[in-house]
């Protein structure tokens, strides 16, 4: 289920405690293709996962967009670069300089395609850092198909090469399934927060006063959510595989379907292409972005994408989605 802007998905439990069910909040920082317009900035997508910031691409003006959106740059722990065209990375050096200027800057891990280490080296050499306290870990990726590039106990990230004019990656952020304790049932059995609840959350049975309590007696498995982001590509097998069964696919749709030839020339998706990927990949919801500046508004694009994939929407700058 998806809630846009200020709508929240809440679950009421019997003890009248409300729990937010979403784990990712996505903010679209820019929706323009190649150059910014009066209405649209270039590419940047911010994902906050349980307080951790993950930035996908960093076009020029991304820092200012974050300011306007009320997002804290100091939360950024990971930057995922799709490719090194300017509209996707030209704001990167400013962001890194801002982070490095903090008294105690956070460590940032930057993921990107082939040549990322060399490009970052030249980028950092191109400007002067008054206080260079930046702790930057660069992970250069060269996946064969869909590959997992990071994971912890809560989520993992996958990537795959797309079909663009230069090495370009798509990414998926996947929330792992989690066991949720029913506090009402647990309290009735005399359980309180502590090691016993911890064992049940790990799927282990416990014994209290000679009675065995199984995890399924007081809990259920909450299925994790999958977010896939595909920018700058032609339809390809990796796009279908990466987006497979995604709860939300954010994909470019630079052109209306009538400009298929232009899409082929510049290796960009049309609305028809984006709808086809969403359909073949069995995604639940599609949001399109990265619109050509020839379109003054996204109205026509949004109307057309719905003819190719019903549960879809055109992004706009500062759109927020909770997943």
Catalytic residues: 87
Q: Write b or e for each residue in 206-225: b if 16 or more Cβ atoms lie within 10 A of its Cβ, otherwise e.
A: beeeeeebebeebbeeeebb
Q: What is the DSSP string of 114-145?
A: TTHHHHHHHHHHTS--SS----EEEEE---SS
Whether the Cβ atoms of residue 194 and residue 208 lie closer than 8 Å to each other? no
b vs e for 81-96, b when ≥16 Cβ sit within 10 Å of the residue's Cβ? bbbbbebbbbbbbbbb
Q: How many helices (DSSP H) and strands (DSSP E) are in the chain?
A: 11, 21
223's tokens: 């299925």
Q: How far is CA 272 from the centre of its chain?
A: 22
């Amino acid at each position: 289920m998806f809630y846009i802007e200020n709508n929240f998905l809440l679950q009421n439990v019997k003890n009248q405690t409300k729990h937010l069910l979403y784990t990712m909040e996505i903010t679209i920082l820019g929706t323009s293709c190649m150059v910014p317009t009066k209405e649209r900035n270039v590419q940047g997508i911010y994902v906050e996962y349980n307080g951790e910031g993950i930035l996908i691409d960093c076009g020029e003006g991304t820092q200012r967009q974050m300011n306007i959106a009320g997002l804290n740059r100091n939360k950024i722990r990971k930057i995922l670069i799709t490719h090194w065209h300017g509209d996707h990375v030209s704001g990167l050096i400013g962001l890194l300089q801002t982070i490095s200027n903090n008294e105690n800057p956070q460590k940032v891990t930057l993921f990107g395609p082939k040549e990322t280490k060399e490009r970052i080296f030249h980028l950092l050499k191109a400007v002067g850092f008054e206080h260079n306290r930046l702790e930057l870990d660069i992970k250069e990726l060269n996946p064969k198909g869909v590959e997992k590039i990071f994971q912890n106990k809560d989520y993992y990230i996958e990537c795959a090469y797309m079909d663009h004019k230069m090495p370009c990656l798509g990414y998926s952020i996947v929330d792992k399934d989690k066991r949720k304790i029913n506090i009402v049932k647990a309290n009735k059995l005399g359980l309180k927060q502590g090691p016993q609840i911890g064992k049940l959350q790990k799927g282990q049975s416990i014994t209290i006063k000679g009675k065995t309590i199984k995890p399924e007696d007081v809990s259920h498995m909450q299925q994790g959510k999958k977010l896939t982001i595909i920018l700058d590509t032609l339809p390809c097998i990796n796009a279908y595989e990466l987006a497979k069964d995604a709860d939300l696919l954010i994909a470019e749709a630079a052109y209306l379907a009538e400009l298929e030839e232009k899409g082929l020339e510049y290796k960009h998706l049309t609305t028809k292409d984006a709808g086809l990927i969403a359909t073949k990949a069995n995604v639940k919801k599609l949001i399109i972005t990265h619109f050509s500046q020839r379109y003054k508004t996204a109205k026509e694009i949004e109307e057309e994408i719905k003819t190719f994939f019903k549960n879809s929407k055109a992004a706009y700058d500062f759109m927020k989605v909770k997943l």
